Structure 1
Amino acid sequence: MTVLDKYLGGRQGTLGLLVLALLVLVVFPLVLDAFRLNMVGKYLTYAFVAVGLVLCWGYGGILSLGQGVFFGLGGYCMAMFLKLEASDPLSTKIQTTPGIPDFMDWNQITELPAMWQPFHSFGFTVAAVVGVPVVLAWVIGLALFKRRVGDVYFSIVTQAIALILTVLIVGQQGLTGGVNGITDLKTLLGWDIRTDQAKYLLYFANAGLLLGCIVLGKFILASKLGRLLLAMRDKEERVRFSGYDVSSFKVFVFCLAAAFSAIGGAMFTLQVGFMSPSFVGIVPSIEMVIFAAVGGRLSLLGAVYGTLLVNFGKTYFSESFPELWLYLMGGLFIVVVMYLPNGLAGVWAKHGPRLWAWRRARAAKAAALEVQP
């Protein structure tokens, strides 16, 4: 077995990753128009959060119901840079104070706030997209895990943080755009991100980053750290008595999940063209957990398929059955919880080998018939 196979989950894991790469990099771009492909790109930004939850929840046993916080922070950091670029003095000359975002002018702010100043730099913005959410996750993790706060209590705290941040964003309208968020984003370093060509390129960048996160996740799970995460989830006290600092491992995987979520949020802002507090609160955070649960909370690839399935379902049901789609989505979740406890990955793990065996037997039989005189 090669090192590549080892860290990608062996032959089956490598094949699964290649199939997903073929689907998102070749099949979708070939069969979908620009509008639908952009929708799939938006769904894939949510998959970053689901992949992080597989590591954090599925393997680490840490159920965070506030991942929308990190998704939103990453998105807002990118949106601040894009908004400043779109708010040059020439484009905002009709404002009372040219050169600042329009929502600040509407709120009678006459000078760009200090917290916005560093976001003139793209390099700082890229660092902040990951750095700000990771620092927040580190503070939360250090405060809770060092005190052995876990299970349902940790989930409640993360929900509370999501609610607090939503209220803060909405309340600080002059700094954040309030309930409308940061909108009317046009260019990235002078490149118009609203064109179909730009959306295609952003889609491929988005898909490439997602595949990179999956590979990193597989590498971690195949290492000693991955085995420790599983042991912590099942027998935390035994791992602690073996001399390992359990809280540090928990902080690490929680920060890693936050970083993945933040990258997804930044790509969402680029792909869709806005960011608002509606992606930060409790409801989107719980939806993101559902994505991971539907795909299978122990499968990095399943998290992506679960995200695509749920969002395709939301789109199809809302377009075809506008008055019933919420009930249909609720029914889908009930079916998954009751009959597919391990998600789509569990179904494949149970029936996939049988399917492959049946196909091999059929191929062998066909080959035998061909050689008969």
Structure 2
Amino acid sequence: MLFGVAPAVLSDFRLGLLGKFLCFAIVAVGIGLAWGRGGMLTLGQGVFFGIGAYIMAMHLKVADAQLRGDTVPDFMQIAGLRELPAYWVPFSSPLVTVLAIALLPALVALILGLGVFKRRVKGAYFAILSQALAAAFAILLVGQQSTGGSNGLNRFRSFFGFDLADPVNKRMLFFIVAAILLLVVAATRQLMQSRYGELLVAVRDQEERVRFLGYDPANIKVAAYTVAAFFAGLAGAMFVPIVGIISPADIGIVPSIAFLIGVAIGGRTTLLGPVLGAIGVAWAQTALSENFPSAWTYAQGLLFVVVIGFFPAGLAGLAALRGRRRTTPAAVSPSQDTPAPAPEMEPAR
């Protein structure tokens, strides 16, 4: 459907919107693994999404500058910067950029996870800590003139040598992000059905019992947290050429909570629930915010509270419950054709 129906029936603009929604779905799959299966309320996925996005954005800006024959990107020239900052230089290489997108978010999550889970920080404390991390990262980027400040990075012209103004290349980006989503879903399904997936659920439900059996729950949590960060970094990297901009507003507290709302609505314990929930929430935000821009934020928060409070399994849980009710056989009532039990014989006297 993603590779056949969507490109055939959607315009280039709508196809680009769907590609943006698929980026959110990739993040949601990782949250479903960490939160739904591992019980870790990850409110800071915007950090890893932002790391992947800014790495890709820096490479694209440097590549555009090289195509024009300049040494620094256009926004740096306006700001009066004449030399490329040292931490921008490695991202001039496409290979280094791809490796950094794949490894840096996961490495940051690995370090944070070891520092947090080894100290047995969990529950609301972990959620608050991850949310504070997202807020700090966004504030840090706002104060950095070399990354565009609050305006972020935008106006990308090329993507690894391909002209982003060409509609054919825009469709290519959609196919790339759709393929990444399918690979991410397949990898997550394999993890869920493996022995590790069973251990992750066991840690969520009975952490102390898992520790008693000889496993370290911290290592199991760190692995899921790292995988979720890896997925978020990939999504952020593809978000940049598809949408054409990345700014601190896209990676702070509000976007991180929006990722979580989609997962909660779709069903965090299922495989495809986070995907469908993320796409549905993103579509609703795009459609409703055009008519009710100020009310969408309140509706989003109310929706999250209602789902968590009354439908913790999400829409996928409701569908599964309805299916079980349909397949439950009705109680068999005795009919007239059923022979009556034989009367007991009185004992002989």
State whether TM-score is above 0.5.
yes
Give the structure 2 partner of residue 109 of structure 1: 81
1:87 to 2:58 alignment: no
- Could you tell me whether the CA contact under 8 Å between 1:313 and 1:329 is conserved in 2? no
Q: Is the 8 A contact 1:137 1:258 kept in 2?
A: yes
- Contact persistence 1:77–1:128 (CA under 8 A): yes
Of the candidates 208, 220, 234, which is equivalent to residue 237 of structure 1?
208
How do residues 211-222 of structure 1 correspond to structure 2 at under 5 angstroms? 211-222=182-193
- Equivalent residues in 2 for 1:51-130 (5 A)? 51-88=29-66, 91=68, 98-130=70-102
Q: Is the 8 A contact 1:295 1:307 kept in 2?
A: yes
Q: Are the counterparts in 1 of residues 264 and 304 from structure 2 also a CA contact under 8 Å?
A: no
Equivalent position to 1:204, from 164, 170, 175: 175
**TM-score (norm: length of structure 2):** 0.89
Pairwise CA distance, 1:255: 0.5
Question: Partner amino acid for 1:115?
Answer: Y
Equivalent residues of 1:181, 1:277 under 8 A apart: yes
Corresponding residue to 1:172 among 116, 119, 144:
144
How far the C-alpha of 1:109 sits from its partner, in A, is 2.0
Q: 5 Å matches for 1:1-373?
A: 22=1, 24-88=2-66, 91=68, 98-173=70-145, 175-322=146-293, 324-330=295-301, 332-352=303-323
- Aligned-residue Cα RMSD (Å) equals 1.9
Structure 1 residue 55, shift from structure 2 partner: 0.5
Q: Distance in 2 between the 1:330 and 1:63 partners?
A: 16
**1:21-47 CA deviation, whole Å, 9 max, x = no partner?**
x3x233322221111111011011011
Tell me the TM-score normalized by structure 1: 0.83
Runs of 4+ in 1 over 6 A off after TM superposition: 354-357
Unmatched segments (≥5 aa) in structure 1: 1-21, 93-97, 358-373
Secondary structure of the 1:185 match is coil
- Alpha-carbon deviation of 1:350? 1.9
In 2: Cα distance, 1:296 partner to 1:172 partner: 38
Amino acid at match of 1:214: V
Displacement of 1:345: 1.0
Distance 1:137 1:30 in 2: 39
Distance verdict in 2 for CA 1:165–1:210, change over 3 Å: same
> What one-letter code is carried by the residue in structure 2 that aligns with 1:154?
F
Per-residue deviation at 1:155?
Answer: 1.1
How far, CA to CA, are the matches of 2:26 and 2:130 in structure 1?
A: 18
Secondary structure at the aligned position of 1:341 is classed as coil
Is 1:78–1:269's contact at 8 Å kept on the other side of the alignment?
Answer: yes
Per mean C-alpha deviation after superposition, the further-off stretch among 260-269 and 27-36 is 27-36
Q: Which residue identity does 2:24 align to in structure 1?
A: Y
Aligned AA for 2:85? P
Compared with structure 1, are the counterparts of its residues 356 and 44 closer, same or farther at alpha carbon in structure 2 (3 Å cutoff)?
Answer: farther
Other-structure match for 2:335? none
Q: 1:284 deviation in Å?
A: 0.6
1:323 and 1:105, CA in 2 relative to 1: closer, same or farther beyond 3 A? closer
Whether the aligned pair in 1 keeps the contact of 2:203 and 2:217 (CA below 8 Å) is yes
SS at match of 1:36: helix
Q: Distance in 1 between matches of 2:153 and 2:215?
A: 44
> Mind listing any 5+ residue stretches in structure 2 that lack a counterpart?
329-349
Greater Cα radius of gyration, structure 1 or 2: 2
Instruction: Work out the CA distance in 2 between the residues paired with 1:260 and 1:138.
Output: 13
CA deviations 1:26-75 (Å, max 9, x no partner) are: 33222211111110110110111110011101111111110000001001
Matched-pair identity in %: 46
